[in-house]
A and B are shown apart, each in its own frame.
Chain A
Amino acid sequence: MSETVQEWAGDVRPAVVGTCQVDVNRSTRRFAAQAGQPLLKALERQNIFIPSACGGRGICRQCKVKVLQGGGAPSPVEINRLSPADLEAGVRLACQLQLQQDLQIEIDPELLTIRDYAAVVQEITTLTHDIRRFQLRLIEPKMLRFRPGQYMQLYVPIYPGSSDPINRSYSIASDPVRANRVDFIIRRVLNGTSTTFCFDYLRSADALHLSGPYGDFRLSDGASDILFIAGGSGMAPIQSMLHQMKNTHSQRKTTFLFGGNTVRDIFMLEEMRQFEKDLPNFRFIPIVANVDAGDTWTGERGLVTEAVKRLVQPGPALEAYLCGSPGMIDATVAVLARKGMSDERIFFDKFS
């Protein structure tokens, strides 16, 4: 590196002027970066997006990278936040690692496919009393390649009453073939920073920024029977997977159990009935826990876990894909395990 080390007045940390060479994944990517900046920022400037939720404060610990060479000693913040095993293995927090010398790092290779996208809101659809679908059209780049099950990070700008921009993750609900479009199914969260923005401030034609795709929740390539189980906005990745199955003319025997507390929590019935027509071996079963006296619900009733007990007979070829709240997933995994399903055949996206 070319360097000049200076002392910053009023700051105990030496400021470094010059550039460093950053090598990512053994020369898969190499770039020069201004010294003195956090590695997280330097990577972002190269369109390499490492997940981070705390705005570079070293609190969320999501931005871990493995340093193979360079990087200097971990900062006190990193020593405090990282486990001894992580520190021993060379793991660092990208938001805390100040570039001071040439650096070789290792990150999940999938992060190198992640890009920043400019998009515009095309349509917002109310699906239930607390769930909406947000259809976005990509502007630059115009196309997104993703695997159904993956998610994007939505950059939430400062809006009236908020103090900081943030980012939050949402599963992609859209058809991967329609690569210029990204759909999210979002449930309003009480006091949620991002959902307050999405529900109260976001309007059609508004511009947005996203990054992604992230995540490894995806359908297997095999021919196993499939059991989808979801509730609420957990519908999103399952819908995208169903598009994928339709696009590939999948013949896999597939059952989708979708749970809601009341009839008004059940949505996208028409879309699911259409999938039943398009996919020869697909069956959609909505389940309502509490049917009010005035409701004309004739479908399955009870908790989704009770429906799993009643309706699912897991054979050796069955794979289960779960998406929903942590409690629903934990309870359903327990039921499936009691029915003899092995962990290796149960996949879930707790979004944690």
Chain B
Amino acid sequence: MPGAPTMRQIEELMRCDRIVAGGFFGNDIRPLEEIVQADAATLKALKATSDQLAQRMKALRDLGLPYLGNTVAAGEGLEVRIDENRGTLICPFGDGTRHFKTITHCRRLADGRQRRWSDLNIHLIEAHGFFEGQGCAFRLEPADLVELLLLR
């Protein structure tokens, strides 16, 4: 689409830390498209979709939100806690969306395994299939999420 940011512009913004400290790539030197394609392939192999994950992540966030920072049982052996900060983050893909600085902490009671994701993570996965680069503080491993959240 004319005027839409080019992949180069998006990558440039993602590799700097105008939006989040350290950017969205961590120490991953692969191009954006390659990262997205590799994660999509992982999901396909697991017969899962980014949309399924995003919906589950949203549902867990929504379950925890009313408890304002307190841990709550989320069923299926999980508990969640929501941590919120003031302000918003823009989507680095330039789609014009803004996302609250809401972080969902999810813990599996059986083994104590914990994962966390931001509202921007959910959007990046749902709208762009992007799980962030390797080494990034908010990188989410698709296979890991599938196992934890979709029980596969």
Residues of A within 8 A of B (CB): 53-55, 57-61, 75-81, 161-164, 166, 168-169, 187, 189-193, 196, 231-234, 259, 261, 289-290, 303-305, 324-328, 331, 350-352
Contacts and interface: CB of A to CB of B under 8 A. Distances in A.
Interface in B32-84: 65-70, 82-84
A79 B2 CA distance: 8
Contacts of A80: 1-4
Given A54-B13, A75-B3, A327 B65 contact: yes
B85 A192 contact: yes
A132 B115 CA distance: 27
A166 B23 CA distance: 13
A187 B94 CA distance: 27
Given A191-B22, A261-B70, 20 more contacts: A53-B90, A54-B90, A59-B92, A77-B3, A161-B17, A163-B15, A163-B23, A164-B16, A189-B85, A189-B87, A190-B83, A191-B20, A192-B21, A232-B85, A259-B68, A325-B100, A326-B84, A327-B102, A331-B66, A351-B88
B68 A352 contact: no
Contacts of A78: 3
A57 B3 CA distance: 12
B134 to A, nearest CB: 15
B22 to A, nearest CB: 7
Which residue, of A53, A326, A350, has the highest number of chain B Cβ atoms within 10 A? Answer: A326
Given A81-B94, A234-B86, A54 B68 contact: no
Given A290-B70, A350-B86, A54 B18 contact: yes
B2 A328 contact: no
A75 B5 CA distance: 12
B86 A163 contact: no
Contacts of B68: 231, 259, 261, 289, 303-305, 325, 327-328, 331
B96 interface: yes
Contacts of A326: 84, 86, 100, 102
A237 B16 CA distance: 31
B87 A352 contact: yes
Given A325-B84, A327-B65, A61 B21 contact: no
A326 B89 CA distance: 13
Contacts of A53: 18, 90
Contacts, number: 124
Contacts of B92: 59
A80 to B, nearest CB: 3
Interface of B: 1-5, 9, 13, 15-23, 65-70, 82-88, 90, 92, 94, 96, 98, 100-103, 137-138
Contact of A352 (B17, B67, B98): B98
Which residue, of B1, B86, B98, has the highest number of chain A Cβ atoms within 10 A? Answer: B86
Nearest to B15: A163
A191 B138 contact: yes
Contacts of B70: 261, 289-290, 303
B22 A161 contact: yes
A74 B13 CA distance: 23
Contacts of A166: 17-18
A303 B16 contact: no
B81 to A, nearest CB: 9
A151 to B, nearest CB: 10
A325 B85 CA distance: 5
Contacts of B5: 57-59, 77
Given A55-B18, A326-B102, A289 B86 contact: no
Contacts of B101: 189, 192
B17 A162 contact: yes
Nearest to A169: B87
Contacts of A79: 2-3
Contacts of B23: 163
Contact of B17 (A76, A163, A261, A328): A163
Nearest to B13: A57
20 contacts: A58-B5, A81-B94, A163-B15, A163-B17, A164-B17, A166-B18, A187-B86, A191-B137, A191-B138, A231-B68, A289-B68, A290-B70, A303-B67, A326-B100, A327-B66, A327-B68, A327-B82, A351-B86, A352-B98, A352-B100
